[in-house]
A and B are shown apart, each in its own frame.
Chain A
Amino acid sequence: MAKISRQALVKELRQFIASDYVIDDAETQKVYECDGLSAYTEMPMLVVLPETVEQVQKAMRIFHRNDIPVVARGAGTSLSAGATPHKEGVVLSLAKFKNIIEIDPLARTARLQPGVRNLAISEAATDYGLYYAPDPSSQIACSIGGNVAENAGGVHCLKYGLTVHNVMRIEMVTVEGELLSIGSEGHDNYGPDILALLNGSEGMLGVITEVTVKLLPTPEKAQVILAGFDSVKTAGDAVGSIISKGIIPGGLEMMDTYAIQASEAFANAGYPLDAKALLLCEVDGTLEEVKEYAEQIESLFKELGATSIKVSQSEAERALFWKGRKSAFPAVGRMSPDYYCMDGTIPRGQLSYVLTEIERLSEEFDLRVANVFHAGDGNLHPLILFDANVPGEFERTEAFGGKILEICVEVGGCITGEHGVGLEKIRQMAVQFTDTEIAQFHSIKSAFDSGAKLNPGKGIPVLKRCQEYRALSKSDSHSGGCGSQGHSAHKGHSEHKGHQGESAA
């Protein structure tokens, strides 16, 4: 329990943080009750929006002294309930940290405050012919601090890597309020790679207050080859064939029938409605290179029996082809009152098997599912369609989703490729990791936050709950509660609208 009353805390914070930015009334707090996964809601004790690093440090010292849980929050686009408030804790919003501190065009780096939006980085760098490569589909809204916390991906990961591959330095405030710099303006540092550890640590190790990222030269050209196939298997084989040819496309996306039809209805991108699978393959590089690869890929698709092929002939057409894919989530959302986005990763060769299993489960759970797949890097996003107003349907959806993640682990994959564990997948951690591994995670956490006050209840499950979940899972029940203390996961269903309009990678 906190050692200070809410009233006393508010008073202390208002001594150095603007009154309006210490939010203690329920009405103003309401927008913070959830993140992009709106099925999980919780009201915090307090919301604070500091404006300087010194304020963050000072506030953290007060929270630390009083044993108050802290949930750091960026733009709140997380799809794993990573930023859901803690009811006895504070939401520390970094929304006021919106400045691009510096762009160094010669060194090709950008120094950013954590609240800078992902897309804003590339927009600011474009004058220098540079851009920031990781591009989660939420890039118009999501912020770089959150990208680091979740190790965000996007549609260009196979060639350009995840956030972790593109971050050089981080400044963070520790749970005790100390300011730390990790990484450097060079490419590496001897000693354990703590910079890598922080990427994807879901706000559980520190509060990120500054990020330096690498910028890349904007490719001279990019072209998209759009191909329809009569089966998912043929499309999957085509992906393998491209890679066997020695080509690493900038982006390589697959969609199944449901996703194609939904996206086409939404974006009029010219997708083949009769196809069972669609591949979007983007090649980028020099003018010569793009021409060479686009021709090779086009003829490869023909050989493999593509039922339709289109090659983008202009930037406008390329953008249109992507529009369909990038709006796949909200487009699918129009087919159903709600949808639930999963995020498993699998070895690519297992795609046919996994999709067949998902189809079988879809019948078993009596819920429709559309599949969007980062085919290049094996990251599968099944979108389960449901209606939260039908009693029990959300619970059934979660159980279905849990099963999908277990299949991903079974074939050698993992439960999350880019969305993070948060509250959402905390039960499935017990499927991917043993108790000793989870205990190791807890002791890593202790090195940074021995009192477990940073984003408590997220990411790493409590061991006792894992054993319960495994036992339940074996008896084929779906109602485990691993690590879900401190939140009321499914409150407010009647208001739940999936996350239409939000879009993740």
Chain B
Amino acid sequence: MSNLTELFIEQIKTAANDKKAITIIGNGTKKTLGRSVGEGNTVISTSEHSGILGYEPVELVMTARAGTSLAEINSALEKNNQYLACDPARFDGVATIGGSLATNQAGPSRPWAGSLRDHVLGVNLINGKGEALRFGGQVMKNVAGYDVSRLQAGAMGTLGLMTEISFKVLPKPAASLTLVQALDAPEAIERMNTLAGQPKPLTAASWVDGKLYLQLSGAKSAVEGTVEKWEGDVLPEEKASIFWGNLRDHKADFFSQRQSDKPLWRFSINSTAKPFLDQESWLIDWAGSQRWLKGEFDHSELQAWALRQGGEVVLYQGGDRLQDVFNQPNAVMKKIQTDLKQSFDPLTLFNPGRLYSWM
């Protein structure tokens, strides 16, 4: 609950002097994401660097220290009937806002509500030279200078240690209902995409265990009016809330129970892509554009398919995590990424190897 920025600067400078790499960690909920590296690193924890620093409900903006838990953030928002619209995975509430931004989290409503990169307005970060920098701000629109705040989304802490984050919050929808309908995967994909093209308050569309789940949220009249027109049974409110929460936090049976020792692959592709392999291996979210696959597969074969579907695949969990698990850029982009990393972190202190074996 205190400001540890000065301590962090000192720790970074010490690590630089000692030529030691740094592992940045919050509450450790995404420890397994990325490559397994970091043994012997200096560990800098943002866990104690927490607290909401500013929250103006009417401005729709909150500023919090990077180590602030989503439980604390959500509870403050709840009191004002507001929420983080992109609904990042909470992992029992202990996930931090810093880690959530560094891994660019988003819940099932991603195609409509965006991810944290869409809601971040500004960050304070310490670069590899130990300089405390501030980018963006606390206003909705800001195009002065390069967008360093959003650049952090997905960088997994390789560009700096984020200390403070400002982000946009929104009023909670007045009503929310979930429709469920048994469908096979190809039909579900077609239907999700067709419905997403209609001007109705659709806010999530997922296919789990042979059923299509559609979440409708917004004005009460709009939600109820749509439920009347669309096919499917209304899922009782409590069940719906558990369903979407479990999907968001990877607690659905697909993630936690089934073949839990098998590698988990995550695809980010064109939402209309026709499925391949057997249906049971898949969970389809984000109206078709995020797809999860369980099982032993050849990474390059999956990548070739993902590429044909206009996207990428990552080895999300399990498998050989000493190899590269994320999508590999081509030589031109590799050079840009390497130089970009250098520009923030010339001594390669932050999370080396976590994102890519070569960076």
**Footprint of B on A, CB under 8 Å?**
104-108, 128-130, 150-151, 153, 157-158, 161-162, 164-165, 174, 178, 180, 182, 184-194, 196-197, 199-201, 205, 217-220, 240, 243-248, 285-289, 291-293, 345-349, 374, 376-379, 412-421, 425, 429, 432-434, 436-438, 440-441, 443-448, 450, 459-460
Contacts and interface: CB of A to CB of B under 8 A. Distances in A.
Given A186-B290, A186-B310, A437-B135, A292 B153 contact: no
B186 interface: no
Interface in B256-301: 267-272, 286, 289-290
| Closest 4 pairs (CB-CB, A-B) | A185-B310, A186-B268, A196-B150, A288-B221
A349 B58 CA distance: 8
A429 B154 contact: no
A196 B117 contact: yes
A415 to B, nearest CB: 5
B138 interface: yes
A436 B131 contact: yes
Interface of B: 56-61, 81, 104, 106, 110-111, 114-115, 117-118, 127, 131, 133-135, 137-148, 150-156, 158-159, 170-174, 190, 193-194, 196-201, 218-222, 224-226, 267-272, 286, 289-290, 309-312, 314, 326-327, 329-330, 332-333, 336-337, 339-340, 342-344, 355-356
Given A218-B199, A246-B81, A377 B141 contact: yes
A424 to B, nearest CB: 12
Given A186-B269, A289-B201, A446-B343, A378 B139 contact: yes
Given A108-B196, A199-B147, A432-B144, A186 B340 contact: no
Contacts of B200: 217, 286
B171 A243 contact: yes
Given A164-B150, A286-B225, A108 B144 contact: no
A369 B224 CA distance: 47
A459 B329 CA distance: 28
Contacts of A378: 59, 139-141
Contact of A414 (B139, B148, B222, B342): B139
Contact of B140 (A108, A240, A291, A345): A345
B150 to A, nearest CB: 3
Contact of B154 (A189, A246, A415, A441): A189
B329 A191 contact: yes
Nearest to B127: A440
A292 B223 CA distance: 12
B170 to A, nearest CB: 7
A349 B114 CA distance: 26
Contact of B340 (A178, A377, A444, A460): A444
A414 B135 CA distance: 11
Given A292-B221, A415-B144, A433-B144, 9 more contacts: A151-B147, A180-B330, A188-B104, A189-B154, A189-B327, A191-B329, A201-B147, A379-B141, A432-B144
B268 A460 contact: no
Given A417-B143, A444-B340, A187 B270 contact: no
Q: Which of B115, B146, B272, B355 has the most CB of A within 10 A?
A: B146
B133 A440 contact: yes
Given A199-B147, A348-B59, A285 B141 contact: no
25 contacts: A106-B193, A184-B312, A188-B117, A192-B337, A217-B199, A245-B171, A285-B219, A286-B225, A289-B201, A345-B137, A348-B59, A349-B56, A376-B140, A377-B140, A378-B139, A416-B143, A420-B143, A425-B144, A429-B144, A429-B145, A433-B145, A437-B135, A446-B343, A450-B339, A460-B146
A190 B326 contact: yes
A288 B270 contact: no
B355 A191 contact: yes
Contacts of B197: 105-106, 108, 128-130, 217
A184 to B, nearest CB: 4
A413 B143 contact: no
Nearest to A169: B310
Nearest to A152: B143
A35 B222 CA distance: 44
B155 A192 contact: yes
Contact of B171 (A218, A248, A349): A248
Contacts of B81: 246
A93 B59 CA distance: 40
B196 A191 contact: no
Contacts of A191: 154-155, 326-327, 329, 337, 355-356
A157 B145 contact: no
A244 B156 CA distance: 35
Contacts, number: 291
A479 B60 CA distance: 37
B145 A292 contact: no
Contacts of B127: 440
Contacts of A434: 133-134
A219 B148 contact: no
Contact of B199 (A285, A417, A419): A285
A101 B93 CA distance: 45
Contact of B226 (A286, A349, A415): A286
A186 to B, nearest CB: 3
B55 to A, nearest CB: 12
Nearest to A241: B58
B56 A347 contact: yes
Contacts of B270: 107, 185-186
Q: Which of A107, A197, A219, A287 has the most CB of B within 10 A?
A: A107
A22 to B, nearest CB: 27
A480 B158 CA distance: 37
Nearest to B195: A217
Contact of B139 (A182, A184, A345): A345
Q: Which of B117, B133, B219 has the most CB of A within 10 A?
A: B219
Contacts of B171: 243, 245-248
B221 to A, nearest CB: 4
B343 A444 contact: yes
Contacts of B60: 243
A444 B150 CA distance: 14
B61 A347 contact: yes
Given A186-B269, A292-B219, A194 B151 contact: yes
